[in-house]
Chains A and B, each alone.
Chain A
Amino acid sequence: MWFEQVMFFVAAVLALAGALGVVRLRNPFYSVLALVAHLVALATLFLLLRAQFLAAAQVVVYAGAVMVLYVFVVAYIGGQEEPMRGEGGLIGSFGPLFAAALGIELCIAILGTGLDAVDSRGPDVGAGFGSPAQVGALLLQKFLVPFEAASYLLLVAAVGAVVLARRRRGLEESEARSPVGEAG
């Protein structure tokens, strides 16, 4: 029991630290790394919630593939350090305030909710809860249509990315670009 709570707090702190790092670090490359840390922390939290498969997917797919993609792009574009000053004027000052207000509202909603189950740890579930078998069965039985739709979406995104990034004739292109950028 205590192990769980300790893990929770560690993971929560790491997640928050990662999130703050993403937002506050100047160099975009560092922001990416902060997000990776955040994702790993979240994977830990998923494990605590008995979502083994999701945790694995998070680490492998999200942190492993998507963030790597991010790293490539940041390397290509070059993460210039943004200046501290001139940080978006009014919105830059008041934006966080509104966000904080929203956060407070959400907390009030969560903590004052009439849903009693929120205050518990949830029902006792069997060993197979959150396993790949269960998730896979659900994907292929109950949630088949969203599954197929998601796969189509992936196809569309892939094609779209290729179209966006391809070289067009007649437009001025620098010959010194590395082939890395062409893949998009």
Chain B
Amino acid sequence: MDAISFGWLVLSFPVAGMLTVSLLWNRLPGRLGGWIASGAILGSFLSSIGMFVDLQDRPEHARSLVDSAWTYAATVDFKVDMSILVDPLAVFMCLVVSGVSFLIHVYSVAYMASDRGYSRYFAYLNYFVFSMLLLVLAGNFVVLIIGWAFVGAASYLLISFWYRRATATYAGIKAFVINVVGDVGLVIAAFLLLDKTGSLDYRGIFQATDNVFRVDDGTLVAACLLILLGAFAKSAQLPLHTWLPDAMEGPTPVSALIHAATMVTAGVYLIARMHPLFEMAPTAADVSAIIGTATLLFAATVAVAVTDLKRIIAYSTISQIGYMVLGVSVAAYGPGLFHLMTHAFFKALLFMGAGSVIGAMSAAQSIDRMGGFRKAMPFTFVTFTVGALALAGFPLTAGFFSKDEILGFAIARGSGYVVLAVVGYLAAFVTAFYAFRMVFRVFFRNAVPEARELEKGHLAHHEPENPASGEKEDTDVGFPGPEHHIAERSWPMKAAMGPLALLAALAGLVQVPGIDEAVDKFLEPTFADSRYADVHPSTGTEWTELGIGGLLGIAGIGLAYLIYLRRRSLRLQIRERFDALHTFLFNKWYFDELYELLFTRPVAALGRFGRNVVETDFVQGTIVGGATGVVRVGSSFARAIQTGYLRGYALMLLVGVGALALYFLISSS
């Protein structure tokens, strides 16, 4: 079997899983639906490995294969196929997506076990994985946009999975609307590229780029900026980031899969895929780098202040994706994508751990109410800490090797990029701080009642309520199920978190500078045409930079230790001194309020205007009423002719005959 066939298999397995689970939803006993869905993704993962093996067998220059399923449209000088492109970048993404998805499916089998919407959840999840794989395997803009849109739809379906919860449905709508803004940008960019290069295929466009566009050509920059619009909407970068924290309304495994490991990285994939365009339009690449850096600092500062556990991790995601965007914008494709991979591991792990803790807290999510779970939940504690260490970039973890390599590349590019790298280092310090803020507040300090109960072996259980607004709920379909699951008691959850912890700890070893750079080498065929392929810091410099990053990480952990464990009073003093700053950060820099003012209110007012004036008065009154009025008047005229009056009818007959005779008389004379 060659790589292309494996490629089609990769896409077929999730579709089969989705159809099976959704059509047989009420015939599958117990947790079978979940296992079927997980098996489908395992099939995808194994097929991705097959693709990988087959690609490695080929010579380097022949590692880009295209195949099409059918021709969507064919006209005189233009043809669009439903085609997939299998090359190292696509295979890399497929491996990451399908691998992490498989583990999250396994986790969900236990986590969602008592939910009434169990089969619906797994059908949606498989649909999402299919969409994501379609997106990364796309060979042209049409299939890309199809996958892009499907992924947005899957995100909406899963965020508002507990559909009877008002906050969840609002969050789903918010995510979808912001995603649509990005979709529009992507479609217009595709039009612009089609207009200038005459093709929608990646190969066609990239080959034509050098001939058709000058460096920093206006249309190309516009197209790249619109692509960035799409990428930033999907990857939750400034200013289109507001949907991601609200997307935490979805179940925790959904947050792990979509909003940490896979969907939000689609923007990064897109920029990396379009690298020939971005390298021809350095202006757009610089814009992307600046926004990425700004985002990573912004999100890190907010993560220091918010108190909902899942939202801290969400802001951490926004921040880390900022790193990846910075990486692929300064042409550090290998490091950027390597960070994508390691981030997928440790972020999914962090979310899984958070899910376990939330289960122990009987669905409460605020860290103000958590503490001292170290003894009650040892497995969760260890895995969560490993993930936090990787996030902080503690030496020799996966995050250590991936995060700072990006900054090293930025420094090697020189000039303005060094500033971005410095900001990145600053944010790394803050990252380590908030990562261990979480660890210390949740697992250390005094044990809260739920932790003490759990130590005695009894899982706490409160009345079901909305964690954000405190509204009372029930546990029927549309709301979470009655039972809560923790890792210590569910072997599927352990089976998922364990391997991820190992990966978070050890995955860095595939890209040790100077020793083996497996990721770079694997991705080289895709990025061989990059004009920055030779910009590479020396091994020594790289180790220095990694060292600086590691030190900053340790410093951040130390500061967190100081504030949260050693000198508790210090925390409150700082809070008082910087109260205004704290409020600013706690309210997420007031972005939500700003957008409400700028967009939501005017649009809502427009909608009200539309309903009252346009619909009621104009359409109903004037157009519909007018049309019926005209008809009524006309028919009343017609009715007036039918008087029932015999002599009137006779007169009309006479007049008619007379007129006819007159006509014939005249026309014949």
In-complex A–B contact (CB below 8 Å): yes
Write out, one digit per residue, whether chain A residues 110-136 have a CB within 8 A of any chain B CB (1) or not (0): 001000000000000000000000000
B669 to chain A, nearest CB (A): 8
Chain B interface, >50% SS class:
helix
B243 to chain A, nearest CB (A): 77
Q: Is A10 interfacial (CB-CB < 8 Å)?
A: no
Q: A91-B648, A91-B651, A95-B651 are in contact. Are A102 and B665 (CB under 8 A)?
A: no
How far does the alpha carbon of A70 sit from the alpha carbon of B662 in the complex, in Å?
36
Q: Is A148 interfacial (CB-CB < 8 Å)?
A: no
Q: Which residues of A contact B449 (CB under 8 A)?
A: none
Q: Is A179 interfacial (CB-CB < 8 Å)?
A: no
Write out, one digit per residue, whether chain B residues 648-664 have a CB within 8 A of any chain A CB (1) or not (0): 10110011011001101
Write out, one digit per residue, whether chain B residues 620-658 have a CB within 8 A of any chain A CB (1) or not (0): 000000000000000000000000000110110011011
Write out, one digit per residue, whether chain A residues 81-118 have a CB within 8 A of any chain B CB (1) or not (0): 00000001001001100110110011011001000000
CB–CB B651/A102 < 8 A: no
B647 to chain A, nearest CB (A): 5
CB–CB B647/A105 < 8 A: no
CB–CB A102/B648 < 8 A: no
CB–CB B647/A88 < 8 A: yes
How far does the alpha carbon of A94 sit from the alpha carbon of B652 in the complex, in Å?
12
CB–CB B647/A102 < 8 A: no
- Interface positions, chain B 331-376, Cβ under 8 Å from A, are none
How far does the alpha carbon of A93 sit from the alpha carbon of B574 in the complex, in Å?
108
CB–CB B658/A98 < 8 A: yes
Contact with B654, one of A88, A98, A106, A108 (Cβ below 8 angstroms): A98
How far does the alpha carbon of A170 sit from the alpha carbon of B654 in the complex, in Å?
42
Q: A91-B647, A91-B648, A95-B647 are in contact. Are A109 and B661 (CB under 8 A)?
A: yes
Q: Which residues of B contact A106 (CB under 8 A)?
A: 661
Q: Which residues of A contact B658 (CB under 8 A)?
A: 98, 101-102, 105
Q: Which of B655, B658, B662, B669 is most buried by chain A, counting CB atoms within 10 A of its CB?
A: B658
How far does the alpha carbon of A98 sit from the alpha carbon of B650 in the complex, in Å?
11
Write out, one digit per residue, whether chain B residues 568-604 have a CB within 8 A of any chain A CB (1) or not (0): 0000000000000000000000000000000000000
Q: Which residues of A contact B655 (CB under 8 A)?
A: 98
CB–CB A108/B665 < 8 A: yes
Q: Which residues of B contact A98 (CB under 8 A)?
A: 651, 654-655, 658
Chain A interface, >50% SS class:
helix
How far does the alpha carbon of A102 sit from the alpha carbon of B654 in the complex, in Å?
8
A101 to chain B, nearest CB (A): 6
Q: Identify the closest chain B residue to A108 (Cβ).
A: B665
How far does the alpha carbon of A105 sit from the alpha carbon of B661 in the complex, in Å?
7
How far does the alpha carbon of A127 sit from the alpha carbon of B425 in the complex, in Å?
134
How far does the alpha carbon of A88 sit from the alpha carbon of B645 in the complex, in Å?
11
CB–CB A105/B662 < 8 A: yes
Q: Which residues of B contact A88 (CB under 8 A)?
A: 647
Q: Which residues of B contact A91 (CB under 8 A)?
A: 647-648, 651
How far does the alpha carbon of A108 sit from the alpha carbon of B666 in the complex, in Å?
11
Write out, one digit per residue, whether chain B residues 64-103 have a CB within 8 A of any chain A CB (1) or not (0): 0000000000000000000000000000000000000000
A104 to chain B, nearest CB (A): 10
B2 to chain A, nearest CB (A): 87
Q: Which residues of B contact A95 (CB under 8 A)?
A: 647, 650-651, 654
CB–CB A105/B665 < 8 A: yes
Q: Which residues of A contact B657 (CB under 8 A)?
A: 102
CB–CB A109/B665 < 8 A: yes
Q: Which residues of B contact A112 (CB under 8 A)?
A: 669
B69 to chain A, nearest CB (A): 73
How far does the alpha carbon of A173 sit from the alpha carbon of B658 in the complex, in Å?
45
Q: Which residues of B contact A102 (CB under 8 A)?
A: 654, 657-658, 661
Q: Which residues of B contact A101 (CB under 8 A)?
A: 658
Q: Which residues of B contact A105 (CB under 8 A)?
A: 658, 661-662, 665
Q: Identify the closest chain A residue to B654 (Cβ).
A: A98
Q: Which residues of B contact A108 (CB under 8 A)?
A: 665
CB–CB B665/A99 < 8 A: no
B414 to chain A, nearest CB (A): 102
Q: Which residues of A contact B651 (CB under 8 A)?
A: 91, 94-95, 98
A67 to chain B, nearest CB (A): 23
Q: Identify the closest chain B residue to A103 (Cβ).
A: B658
A144 to chain B, nearest CB (A): 32
Q: Identify the closest chain B residue to A105 (Cβ).
A: B661
Q: Which residues of A contact B654 (CB under 8 A)?
A: 95, 98-99, 102
How far does the alpha carbon of A109 sit from the alpha carbon of B528 in the complex, in Å?
99
Q: Identify the closest chain A residue to B660 (Cβ).
A: A105
- Interface positions, chain A 31-80, Cβ under 8 Å from B, are none
Can you pick out 16 interface pairs between chain A and chain B where the beta carbons lie within 8 Å of each other? A91-B647, A95-B647, A95-B654, A98-B654, A98-B655, A98-B658, A102-B654, A102-B657, A102-B658, A102-B661, A105-B658, A105-B661, A105-B662, A106-B661, A108-B665, A109-B665
Interface residues of B (CB under 8 A from A): 647-648, 650-651, 654-655, 657-658, 661-662, 664-665, 669
Interface residues of A (CB under 8 A from B): 88, 91, 94-95, 98-99, 101-102, 105-106, 108-109, 112
Query: What are the 6 tightest A-B residue pairs by CB atom distance, in nearest-first order?
Result: A102-B658, A105-B661, A91-B647, A98-B654, A91-B651, A101-B658
Beyond the given pairs A95-B650, A108-B665, A109-B661, 5 more chain A to chain B contacts, judged by CB atoms under 8 angstroms and listed by A's residue number, are A88-B647, A94-B651, A95-B654, A99-B654, A101-B658
